[in-house]
Amino acid sequence: RGRIIQLKQTHYEPKPDGYQPLPISLLGSGYIRRVLKTGTVEAKRLAGAIDWERYKCDVPGVRWHPVGGWRVQFDRRNYEHNFFVRCSCFFRVQLYGFDRAKELAIAYRRRLEAEWDEQQRIWAKLDVQREAARLQ
């Protein structure tokens, strides 16, 4: 009879403080995925030469995309006012350069958040006016 043999189990080791994993989107590129998955000496040398920290971004909604650029995602909903915003924008490294594209993506995401906050304040003011007019 055939037996199912389980892989060797190991104890869980918690991640160190400040641990930030590589973006999953990096593995969307076949070239990078093969370099990381292949165990050859050359692949390990190439993977060690890459500055992985550059591909990380601590701003929510901004991440590296395998098309070769930084992607900004913004999705907000306000059902009460029937207002929906969904934005997906790419800042290509080919056009702006790596660092400039990242700066533009972060700035654009912050601008979208600021505009959403401004819209929330406008709605709050309009709701107060509408409620005051209704009570008169």
User: Is residue 17 one of the residues assigned to a domain?
Assistant: no
Handedness of CA 67, 72, 73, 77 (dihedral sign): negative
For residues 112 and 123, state if they share a domain.
yes
| 75 lies in the same domain as 29 | no
Give the rounded percent of residues in the chain with a pLDDT score beyond 70.
93
SS3 76: strand
Same domain, 49 and 103: no
50 and 97 belong to one structural domain:
no
> Is residue 50 domain-shared with residue 63, that is, in the same domain?
no
Cα–Cα distance between 50 and 29 in angstroms, integer? 15
Residue 9 pLDDT greater than 70, yes or no: no
Q: What is the pLDDT of residues 61-84, one digit of tens each?
A: 999 998 889 999 999 999 999 999
Q: What band does 52 get if pLDDT is binned at 50, 70 and 90? A: confident
User: What is the average pLDDT across 108-124?
Assistant: 97
| 30-48 pLDDT per residue, tens | 878 888 888 899 988 988 8
Q: Is residue 11 part of a domain?
A: no
Give yes or no for a contact between 91 and 72, defined as CB atoms under 8 angstroms apart.
yes
User: Is residue 100 located within the same domain as residue 127?
Assistant: yes
CA 128 vs. chain centroid, Å, equals: 36
Give the number of domains in the chain. Answer: 2
Same domain, 102 and 124: yes
What is the CA angle 108-110-111, rounded to 5? 60
Residue 121 domain-assigned?
yes
Q: What's the Cα-to-Cα distance from 32 to each of 49, 61, 71, 125, rounded to whole Å?
A: 12, 22, 18, 50
Q: What is the pTM of this model?
A: 0.76
Do 44 and 62 belong together in one domain? no
